[in-house]
């Protein structure tokens, strides 16, 4: 894996608590732009999406007020989407025209309570968003191109299981995960049904933990990586659905070294880090994965290798994003009112 000494890190103070952060497409501006979901703990109903610019992301270029705190944030090439703790969904152009924002309100026809699973995929009629909430509901939301959206309910678990993560694999398939349900693989060609399920692999004899994040590799759509409670990270290969592959976890009896002992909030396949082995497209070996945690760790984990710590912060790292155009650059949301930008491939560390 990459040398942890060749890093440059800059912490940018922000006037609000930063919950989520994402890179925006470089095609919309010559500047490096970020979207951040922020809130002010001292001011009720002070929840916003901010458009930020590097090298100084402390002052927003534009802002959109949300009805409640953002719980999920995703960006497609043309749309920025945010879901909230009250159950609403908000779509606006990625160039941040707030006047063009479209909202799906919370309630009986959508979600009631936090929506933590959110992702964009391409359907036959254009972009489609999958939402998965703590209320046990799963929806597919399609934009009509005329300022309206079409919402279709895929599943209603009626609170028996709560969802915390969702990820598209193809226009017909997506994965979800959460509490008391492990990871589920859905196929729209088979009546919007769950066609495979994995309880995962958890330490200390736990039958199932909480799934917080899922990522699916773009060139290996049969493999997803999962981050969850108790420092757990595992991969799930649909070719062997009953054999999850441990990458990190507490109490796994040496099958994987724990990178942390707290909640793993986000996981992403890391295209920048070179694997210790040459991996072909047909290999069963899992590609390197980046993660962030409640106890302030940003690290890269790889199958059968020691974790590589990139950052160890005194506060939670709530989320991070790898720049798809420049995968050496990573932005992260630090709980103590700051945004961190990490660049790999340099010889010095800057604060």
Mean pLDDT computed over 37-52: 94
Claim: this prediction has a pTM higher than 0.95: no
Least trusted range by pLDDT, from 64-73, 79-88, 100-109, 119-128: 119-128
Least trusted range by pLDDT, from 54-58, 69-73, 326-330: 54-58
Is the pLDDT assigned to residue 250 strictly greater than 80?
no
**Token pair recorded at residue 188:** 């729209």
Is the pLDDT assigned to residue 5 strictly greater than 60?
no
Beta strands 126-133 and 137-143 are: antiparallel
Beta strands 89-93 and 102-104 are: antiparallel
SS (H, E, C) 2-26: CCCCCEEEEEEECCCEEEEEEECCH
Cα angle 158, 79, 32 (rounded to 5 degrees) comes to: 125
Q: Which residues, listed in sequence order, are joined to residue 177 by a DSSP beta bridge?
A: 165, 183
Measure the CA–CA gap between 84 and 77, rounded to whole angstroms. Answer: 21
Q: Which residue has the higher pLDDT, 335 or 1?
A: 335
Of 238, 237, 234, whose CA–CA distance to 208 is shortest?
A: 234
Of 168, 104, 106, whose CA–CA distance to 135 is shortest?
A: 106
- What is the phi/psi pair of residue 13, to 5°? -60, 145
**pLDDT, averaged across the chain:** 89
Q: Which residue has the higher pLDDT, 140 or 349?
A: 140
3-state helix, strand and coil shares in percent for the chain, rounded to the nearest 5: 5, 50, 45
Cα angle 40, 41, 44 (rounded to 5 degrees) comes to: 80
What's the half-sphere exposure (Cβ side, CA atoms, 13 Å) at 183?
32
Q: What is the pLDDT of residue 313?
A: 96
Is the pLDDT assigned to residue 99 strictly greater than 60?
yes
Mean pLDDT computed over 120-129: 81
Is the pLDDT assigned to residue 349 strictly greater than 60?
no
Is the pLDDT assigned to residue 118 strictly greater than 50?
yes
Mean pLDDT computed over 5-18: 90
Q: What is the pLDDT of residue 350?
A: 39
**Token pair recorded at residue 234:** 């595992």
Could you tell me the strand order of the sheet in which 193-198 lies? 162-170, 173-179, 183-187, 193-198
Cα R_g (the chain), whole angstroms: 19
Is the pLDDT assigned to residue 1 strictly greater than 60?
no
Cα angle 73, 89, 193 (rounded to 5 degrees) comes to: 90
**Token pair recorded at residue 101:** 């924002």
pLDDT in tens, 19-43: 999 999 877 667 899 999 999 999 9
Q: Strands of 229-328 (E only): list them.
A: 233-237, 245-248, 264-269, 289-293, 297-301, 308-312, 317-322
pLDDT in tens, 180-237: 889 999 999 999 899 999 988 886 555 568 999 999 998 899 999 999 998 999 999 9
Is the pLDDT assigned to residue 340 strictly greater than 80?
yes
Is the pLDDT assigned to residue 169 strictly greater than 50?
yes
Mean pLDDT computed over 311-328: 96
């Amino acid at each position: 894996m990459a040398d942890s000494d060749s890093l440059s890190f800059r912490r940018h103070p922000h006037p609000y608590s930063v919950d989520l952060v994402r890179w925006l497409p470089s095609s919309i501006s010559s500047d490096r732009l970020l979207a951040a979901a922020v809130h002010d703990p001292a001011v009720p109903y002070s929840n916003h999406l901010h458009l930020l610019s590097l090298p100084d992301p402390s002052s927003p270029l534009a802002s959109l007020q949300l009805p409640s705190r953002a719980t999920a944030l995703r960006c497609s090439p043309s749309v920025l989407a945010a879901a909230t703790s009250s159950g609403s969904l908000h779509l606006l152009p990625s160039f941040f025209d707030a006047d063009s924002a479209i909202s799906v309100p919370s309630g009986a026809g959508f979600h009631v309570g936090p929506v933590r699973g959110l992702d964009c995929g391409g359907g036959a009629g254009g972009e489609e968003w999958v939402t998965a909430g703590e209320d046990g509901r799963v929806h597919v939301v399609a934009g009509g191109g005329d300022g309206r959206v079409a919402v279709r309910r895929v599943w209603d678990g009626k609170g028996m299981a709560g969802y915390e993560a969702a990820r598209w694999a193809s226009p017909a398939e997506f994965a979800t995960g959460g509490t008391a349900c492990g990871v589920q693989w859905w196929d729209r060609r088979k009546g919007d049904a769950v066609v495979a399920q994995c309880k995962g692999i958890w330490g200390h004899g736990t039958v199932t933990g909480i799934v917080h994040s899922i990522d699916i590799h773009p060139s290996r759509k049969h493999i997803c990586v999962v981050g969850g409670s108790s420092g757990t990270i595992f991969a799930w290969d649909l070719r062997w659905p009953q054999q999850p592959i441990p990458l990190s976890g507490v109490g796994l009896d040496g099958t994987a070294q724990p990178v942390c002992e707290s909640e793993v909030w986000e996981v992403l396949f890391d295209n920048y880090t070179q694997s210790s082995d040459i991996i072909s497209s047909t290999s069963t070996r899992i590609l390197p994965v980046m993660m962030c945690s409640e106890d302030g760790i940003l690290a890269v984990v790889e199958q059968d290798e020691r974790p590589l710590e990139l950052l160890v912060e005194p506060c939670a790292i709530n989320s991070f994003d790898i720049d798809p155009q420049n995968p050496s650059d990573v932005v992260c949301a630090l709980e103590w009112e700051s945004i961190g930008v990490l660049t790999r491939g340099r010889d010095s560390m800057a604060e």
